[in-house]
């Protein structure tokens, strides 16, 4: 009976008294949200060749991608994602995995209906059809089995060449001025948070030291 009573007290204390080691484990860094993009209608998308189920809205002035059930957009060197194309954006802490598979010149390819010098008869996909089918397309490897994304005479690049392209695009991305500014902002915010955490711990240490000196 005494053990049961003691266990109840300990459980109540654990619930009320915070545990220091669990505090501030997940530190978030706040950044401003991107401005909304005005859509006259839900955007159509096209499937990007040489990617793993990446879709892009081609008729919007800003880059807007759909991948893995999320909408993605870069802004001021940062990335944001949402379940909706027109609201609910949240800061994403890194560059999404799909991005370095995307050809930086895709807009020119789209405009000219060509892909690497070959005719590109891309398929426009309404948003409703995308939402209804993207999961099954991914599960059934729809675009991979189709094999050409509408590109006539399409020949897939060897894996080594694709990896080299990814590395090259990543280096070019890191050299963008807005990306470098974002990296500097991240480092500054992290430094400020670390200083704040240290200052939050120091007063207790100083107080204990002063008490010991006065004794």
Condensed to tens digits (0 to 9), the pLDDT of residues 120-144 reads 999 999 999 999 999 999 999 898 7
In a domain, 139, yes or no: yes
Whether 214 is covered by a domain: the verdict is no
pTM, 2 dp:
0.76
Name, in order, each residue with C-beta under 8 angstroms of 85's C-beta and a sequence gap of 6 or more. Answer: 39, 42, 43, 57, 64, 66, 71, 127
For the four alpha carbons of 20, 23, 24 and 25, in that order, the dihedral sign comes to positive
CB within 8 Å of 104: residues ≥ 6 apart: 169, 172
Residue 67: inside a domain: yes
Residue 104 is assigned to a structural domain of this protein: yes
Overall domain count for the chain: 1
Quote the domain boundaries for residue 86: 32-201
Q: What is the pLDDT of residues 19-69, one digit of tens each?
A: 333 333 333 567 889 998 888 899 999 999 999 999 999 999 899 999 999
Q: What is the pLDDT of residues 80-89, one digit of tens each?
A: 999 999 999 9
- Assign 127 to helix, strand or coil: helix
Is residue 117 situated within a structural domain?
Answer: yes
Domain membership flag for residue 213: no
3-state secondary structure labels for all residues of 60-109:
CCCCCEEECCEEEEEECCEEEEECCCCCCCEEECCCCCCHHHCCCCHHHH
Kindly report the length of the chain: 215
């Amino acid at each position: 009976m005494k053990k049961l009573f003691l266990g109840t007290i300990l459980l109540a204390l654990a619930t009320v008294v915070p545990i220091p080691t669990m505090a501030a484990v997940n530190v978030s860094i706040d950044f401003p949200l991107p401005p909304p993009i005005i859509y006259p209608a839900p955007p159509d998308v096209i499937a990007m060749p040489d990617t793993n189920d990446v879709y892009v809205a081609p008729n919007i002035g800003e880059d807007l991608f759909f991948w893995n059930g999320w909408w993605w957009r870069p802004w001021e060197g940062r990335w944001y994602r949402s379940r909706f194309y027109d609201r609910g954006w949240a800061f994403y802490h890194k560059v999404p995995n799909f991005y370095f598979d995307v050809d930086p010149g895709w807009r020119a390819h789209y405009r000219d209906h060509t892909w690497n010098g070959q005719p590109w008869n891309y398929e426009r996909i309404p948003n409703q059809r995308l939402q209804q089918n993207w999961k099954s397309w991914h599960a059934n490897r729809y675009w991979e089995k189709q094999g050409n994304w509408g590109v006539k005479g399409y020949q897939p690049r060897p894996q080594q060449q694709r990896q080299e392209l990814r590395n090259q695009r990543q280096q070019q991305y890191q050299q963008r001025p807005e990306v470098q500014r974002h990296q500097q902002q991240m480092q500054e915010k992290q430094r400020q948070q670390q200083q704040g955490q240290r200052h939050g711990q120091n007063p207790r240490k100083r107080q204990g030291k002063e008490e010991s000196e006065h004794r």
